[in-house]
Structure 1
Amino acid sequence: MDIRPSRKPFMLGAALSAAALLSCNAIPAIAAPAEPYTVKSFAAVGSESKPDDITRLGNNIYVAFQNGVGPMGEPSASGATASTIQQYSLDGTPGASWTITGKIDGLHADEAGQRLLVTTNEDGNSAFHTVTPAAGDTAVKDYTYTGLTHGGGTDTATIYQGKIFITASNPADTTGPAVYQATLSGSTAALAPVFTDNATAAVANTGSTGTTPLALTDPDSATVVPAESPRFKNQFMLASQGDQQLIFADRAGTPQQSLQVLNLNGQVDDTAFATTSQQTLWITDPDHNTVHSVTGPFAAGQALSTVTPDTAPDYLASLDLSTGSLTPVPGLSSIHPKGLLFTSAQ
């Protein structure tokens, strides 16, 4: 693993209007967005490919490029065995980059620790890493898991009320942990279950009552719902992608923990929440090997999700937190999203 300053050619797409087409030699052409959205597009800095998770730490954006590495760390078709974390300033100027062995599935900012939390290999052979950008040659630290009992890999790392939560992806069955809490010590990430794939949850869809036993087969992305959201404020949220469900955990990881499940009308990966109406939406687009920053009429508390149909390209949708309905955002239909991040311009 290494840190290296980026000196590769960088290509910045101009801001787009409804009448303009994106032109960038490094990616296939995509259609222009419709008004009232404005999009700036940033190509991969060099040979990196397949941008996935995205996060902000301080005044920089960090993007994980998976480079075609397999879900258990298998080499890509070109022989790549490592992913790349690329740093960008808020205007898209590239900075440093780091290589991490395996396929990065989770990339999350730990503001208190001024570091990035990184998980690799969602299906198995997983490991945990931290990257401290200010630490120079010692930026990357590797950890080995203990207590990984669900039979699969790890996907997303999230900070919830000061605790590191990690999702338990690709479970062997539906009886193991869906989410772990990680405690870091030395070179070990010790895991303890937060809740299981077969936990009981109250049904959260409007008009529904009662509880139901979960049977999660695909724990994936996770986030914390902000206080500005119309529902589920300050709760931990897990997407069980293939099950078309979102699990909301109030006071997660405590004896007072309670779960709700919102059934969706489609599969979702990442979900991002706007906390003000002035925020920019950053989107990774692996099909076009591009990172986009989008400004438009986003509302405080609005939730947007990456919808992942089995037989069509991924698309961006508004999420109704009462009904579970996912409505495509027509002005941004040419973008094939993966990772999502709402953040301020400063």
Structure 2
Amino acid sequence: MAMSMVIVKAGSVLGYVVDNWHVDWYAVVLCGLPVAAYWRGHMRRMRTKMSPEIRAGYERRALAMLIANFFMVIGFFSPIPTWAMVYQWVHMIWHLDLMVFAPPFLIISDPWAEMAEGVPAPLMERMRNGYRSLASRDRVARFARVVSSPWAAVIAFDSAMWIWHVPGPFDWAMQSSGRMELMMFSFFFAGVFMWYVAIDQGRRRYHENGILRFAHIASVSMSCMLLAILLGLSSGAWYSAFDWAMGTYRTMSLLADQQIAAGILWVFGAVPWFIAGVYVLRDALTDEERGANNITDTFRSFVLRRVRVAPPTRPVTGYNDNSRSI
């Protein structure tokens, strides 16, 4: 059962909000099961004896997971996906909820260890054996290094943002609930990937240098800003799907709807990335003051891509130049 594309009529705004929730089984399987594994692993860890400081850390991370779960429920099960078929500004809120609001709290919660502990032991052992088998293959390892790089996250995020906002793919996705599911999950997983690169502080983060992290964050922030400018300053509406999909519920013009959506994307799409970039840049400057980072050398190596060439060696002549003939 996919997301609902039918609005249950009600006599009030509260009635629309209450009566139009739905169960998305794709979301239950792809996202609900990992979340359930996290909470199972979290409860198992909280039952063990640990110091108050460690327990407080787990509680703070659990609070971040609760916030992430709240945004995920709004994005997957609330009436917002259904009303996203009527108004573009609601559609933009839906996109940003899955790409910008839920993923950072999910990453802050650092759920990976708890998820692994929450999976039943026999199943976890099979998963680990399968991972070791795949990782031992050279081609698979090389492919994994490419697709797990920071710039791959940038490309995935920008591709999901731009491709699905091109009029053709957008109108195509609005034609069925299955295509909307594809759009929705591409937004969510691209957002998780990019926020993992941007703010993860664990040992698994893809790179240690703050300047490169800032470059990745700035690129997606500028991408969101550029898309918002193009949407807001366009002289005509981009999408016709809002007319033939559920246009009978509309109360505003397509162009006005698009301009409101552009403003939402500008404020709630680009600004959170800008704030994250400021924090990353602050950390980079702090590391430079401590001598742990050199911003100038990092910039040169990133932009110029200098290659060190070994000095040429002199050919072997078979005799010593310093020898003196007698």
* TM-score of the pair, normalised by structure 1: 0.23
Larger radius of gyration: 2
Q: TM-score, normalised by structure 2?
A: 0.24
Q: Counting helix residues as a fraction of each chain, which structure ranks higher?
A: 2
Structure ranking higher on relative contact order (CA contacts 8 Å, 6+ apart) = 2
